[in-house]
Amino acid sequence: MSIIIFALMLGVFCVGTAEIVISGLLPIVATDLAVSVPEAGLLVTGYALGVTIIGPFVTLLTGRLPRKALVLGLMGLFVFGNIWAVFAHDYQMLMAARVFTSLSHGTFVAVAFNLAATLSPANRQGSAMAKVALGFNMANALGAPLGAFIGQNLGWRATFVAIVVIAALTMLLIAAYMPKRLPHIEQTTGGTLRREFGALIQPSLLLVVLATVLAQGAVFTASTYVVPLLTDVSQFSPQAIAALLVVFGIGAIIGNFAGGRLADGHVMRGIVIVLTSLVIVLAIFWVTSVVPLLSAITLFVFGAVGFSIIPSLQARIQSVAHAAPTLALSVNVSAFNLGNGLGAWLGGAVIAHDYGVRAVLLAGSGLAALSLAVILLSWVLVDKRQTESAVCGAAS
């Protein structure tokens, strides 16, 4: 069980690293392929759009496949896409490889979360999903910096070779340790298109997806511009930034497990605690950002709170979408990617309108407050529906 969870976490680490590592290689890729840095930046956008738009359809079309065959097939597709990137001889070929690789991302992550939850006891599902979500934290804290280091010293293609090696190790672990069939899981997967789409349009589920977009947007409104915030407002030297980002990353890893533990006890209560904390922490960060020591401490807390939302919100999706949990988780993965884009855009708009980089913290806090309001509304709707069902059951 622990090795299967580790393998799934390693797979999430691979896809998470593949998505973001190109950001640290933009100048090198641009020079090698004779394009501008903004054009090279579209390689990030192309991947994200593939995850967001096409990912749920891949999940829908593969819903009836046995879980082991599916995760191996998706990781095989991922490996092929990254090998394609290694041998890309021009920008267009690399873009095609990036989009192709992204097709495996959403479904693999959704299946990994679903397997972690379903293979765990009911009171430990949040923690199991947090272990899988740790792959994303490690991608940010370890994968992206190491990938950039490899690319700067051995060339950007070597970075993709390293990703292929780790993905191949993931496949070996899954092939060796995951049972060929998981009857108690296989029988709950797949179904008619009407039933699966019907599961997706439940108001309570749609509200959770919306809350995910807003919550992730709140995190990225602040985190996208955290470096200029630390240098221009907190007055840290450029040499201190790397250490501060490590502090942020450590907070993110701790927060990931804390979010999982909160979801173990009571999913909705855990989400409310996390989102309320995010509203408060971002507002406090606005106050403390002008004092270097307090700014560094708040940065750590922001990392912890900001990254505790992933296991909490995914656990909520898992609990709401009984008819099509994997498809719903895939849609929520798309929601996280939409939140990334929303946050980066909102923070940029705040700065562009001359409110200053410090104001992105208040904008993020406001977005987190909207997410909290949406999640509370979904909680009310679920309670109302359960009460009506109980009344109907008693009457019959």
Q: Which of 108, 260, 114, 124 is nearest to 184 (CA)?
A: 114
Q: Could you tell me where the beta strands, DSSP code E, fall in the chain?
A: none
Residues with Cβ within 8 Å of residue 306, at least 6 apart in sequence: 218, 219, 222, 223, 252, 255, 278, 281
Would you say 227 and 242 are in contact if contact means Cβ atoms under 8 Å apart?
A: no
Q: Is 116 exposed, middle or buried (0-12, 13-18, 19+ CB in 10 A)?
A: buried
Would you say 314 and 329 are in contact if contact means Cβ atoms under 8 Å apart?
A: yes
Tens digit of each residue's pLDDT, the chain (396 residues): 588 889 999 999 999 899 888 877 878 888 899 988 778 878 877 888 888 888 888 888 887 788 889 999 999 999 999 999 999 999 999 999 999 999 999 889 888 888 887 777 767 767 777 788 888 878 877 888 888 889 888 999 999 999 999 999 999 999 998 877 665 455 444 455 566 666 666 777 788 889 989 998 999 888 878 888 898 899 998 888 878 888 888 888 888 888 877 777 677 888 899 999 999 999 999 999 999 999 999 999 999 999 888 877 877 777 776 656 677 777 777 888 888 878 878 888 888 888 988 999 999 999 999 999 998 988 777 655 554 444 445 444
Q: Which domains does the chain have, with CATH numbers?
A: 1-190 (1.20.1250.20), 191-396 (1.20.1250.20)
> From the CB of residue 324, how many other CB atoms can be counted at a distance below 10 Å?
25
What confidence score (pLDDT) does residue 170 get? 95
Would you list the DSSP string of 264-298?
HH-HHHHHHHHHHHHHHHHHHHHHHTTSHHHHHHH
What confidence score (pLDDT) does residue 285 get? 96
Residues with Cβ within 8 Å of residue 206, at least 6 apart in sequence: 200
What confidence score (pLDDT) does residue 21 get? 83
Say how far apart CA 64 and CA 229 lie, in whole Å.
47
Residue tagged 């267009």 (tokens): 92
- Taken in order 136, 140, 145, 147, is the CA torsion positive or negative? positive
What confidence score (pLDDT) does residue 182 get? 64
Residue tagged 């990392």 (tokens): 303
Q: What are phi and psi of 62, to 5 degrees?
A: -110, 10
Q: Is 88 exposed, middle or buried (0-12, 13-18, 19+ CB in 10 A)?
A: buried
What confidence score (pLDDT) does residue 292 get? 93
Q: What are phi and psi of 230, to 5 degrees?
A: -70, -35
Would you say 225 and 360 are in contact if contact means Cβ atoms under 8 Å apart?
A: yes
What confidence score (pLDDT) does residue 277 get? 95
Would you say 164 and 83 are in contact if contact means Cβ atoms under 8 Å apart?
A: yes
Q: What are phi and psi of 352, to 5 degrees?
A: -65, -30
Would you say 251 and 304 are in contact if contact means Cβ atoms under 8 Å apart?
A: yes
| Token pair recorded at residue 267 | 């999913």
CA atoms within 13 A on the CB side of 56: 19
| Token pair recorded at residue 234 | 């907190």
CA atoms within 13 A on the CB side of 389: 6
What confidence score (pLDDT) does residue 10 get? 94
